[in-house]
Structure 1
Amino acid sequence: MSTANNEFSAEHLPASVRNAPELSVSLQDQNDSLAPSHAPAAGEPSWRVDVTDAESFQQLVQLSNQGAVIFALWAPHSPASVSMLEQAEALVNSAGGNLLLAAVDITKAPEIGQAFQIQGVPAAVAIIGGRPAPLFNGPVDTEALTDVLGQVLQLAAQQGLRGGFEPVVSEEEKPLPPLHAEAIDALDRGDYAAATSAYTRALNENPADSDAKIGLAQVHLLERVAGLNLADEREKAAADPTDVQAHLNVADLDIAGGHVEDAFARLLRLFKAVDTEAKTSVRERLLELFTVVGSSDPRVTKARSALMTALF
């Protein structure tokens, strides 16, 4: 779940979450409704969501009006937090949809940790009905974690928020829409025309289908580079800094080979060196390659900014 230009900060938090924590969960009575289990194997249901941006955070806050959402803050460099996350995932999954786990890697989303005023990891905060319940900030063993999540379940039940969350389906597990599947099948057999047709029909049905837009741009790229020889194209481009087609071909081959920054830098240099008519071709190719790489990619953001500067 992600959107462009979603910087997360404390002001994104609803007032009830920003305010002083009014809910504090104590470690008192052991609750038998949770039992330590194991991390879900392939095909087993999971109630874990990975949170990386403000949009996904806001959605989860809204879901807390249905049941308790546990925000588990962790970092790859912290073994204690990795262990906590694994234990929390197993316990939340054992609750069968009465809880939802929101995993926050603070190395990727430090603003979320700052908004919760977390000093370090491991840490966890529950949100119940839009209101925060700080759970712990520091290492926690399985017994204590089981206890505190049991208390969260009891507190949510007292407020009539009994969960009933559906299992989270990963992007890998989601079936492709029929026209997307048709396009992938066509690509597998090297039929670029059929893949183009399938993605175009998908866009005709839904012009906002971003995956179809990306897929169509990728098909066009693959079709252009089919049969090109990188060494030959590089030689042509090196011999003439204004050979537009040679430089476009090298940029395509670089993108296909994963050399994204090299491709963008080449086309930006070319854009500045050619006449007005050629600039249009270079600009259009850059925009198409931005789609291939992904609008949220920082390399695209940087190159797009450089293109805007060159335009004006």
Structure 2
Amino acid sequence: MQPRNMSMSGVVDLAAVKAAGEAKQKAEQARAQSAEGGGAPAPSSLVIDVDEASFEADVLQRSAEVPVVIDFWAEWCEPCKQLSPVLERVTKQYAGRVMLAKIDVDQNQMLMQQFGVQGIPAVFAVVAGQALPLFQGAAPEEQIRGTFDQLVQVAEQRFGITGLQGVGEEAAEEAAPEPEVPEDPVLAAAQQALDSNDLPGAIQAYRNKLSDEPANVEAKVGLAMAELLQRVQGMDARQVRKDAADAPTDVAAQLKVADLDMAGGHVEDAFGRLVETVQRSSGEDREAARLRLLELFEVIGAEDARVVAARGALARALF
């Protein structure tokens, strides 16, 4: 997904006087308990996997001591695979001033809904038990650092939360920046277009890359994602779903809902709908559904188990 402008617009709620007072008390208690417990956590504990069962203890409670950044991701999401390593590296470099909680949306749909996640990767923060959106989509490391700086400043100024003490230089050294690999100028232009929400420009840039390198995986995934985003842009989700429910044989209506499902991370729903559409349609309508399904396979990747299963279902529907 393309990144939205990073902002701290949600911090207005964090300025409540009562919440600030409570958060400062919790932070002091947490620091006291940490000192009694024998010191700072290991660098590896700055990045944790969280699920619905551990969310309260690992995120809500820890947010009284340190800002907790949440990375909503999925195994099939290629932009997630680009963003997550950067978030992990930057988190370690901040040496305890932030923590990173990674949440697999496929396994934790309730948390995804509670945060109002519309697409992934999506990044939120929790400070003193209060959530705020940070950004959506893959983003450059420099931009991520800027957002982390603002988050740390808000946590300290509003709540007196200064992070985990004593994690120190070891974590920062462990996560030293890797040597930068020169960017492909065409792919860089495509990413820049996505950053500025210029979807037609991104689509053209990816097509240009594929015209020179038809097998370039990054360009294939990027093109499929950009085209998906362009199709769902401006859709009235409620009306689109109503139209599809009212006219189950309307292939165009079913394609729109499948796109919405995919953009929202509901991969199996999107695949299942398109396979069913292939089964009950014929001629040009059937071909349109088949091609759309193949396009969505590109977004996920050929090796994903859901793609493998859907390919089998498609073959059975066709033959």
Give TM class, smaller chain: 0.3 to 0.5
Structure with a larger share of its residues in helix:
2
TM score, norm. by length of structure 2: 0.43
Q: Which has the higher contact order (CA 8 A, sep 6+)?
A: 2
TM score, norm. by length of structure 1: 0.44
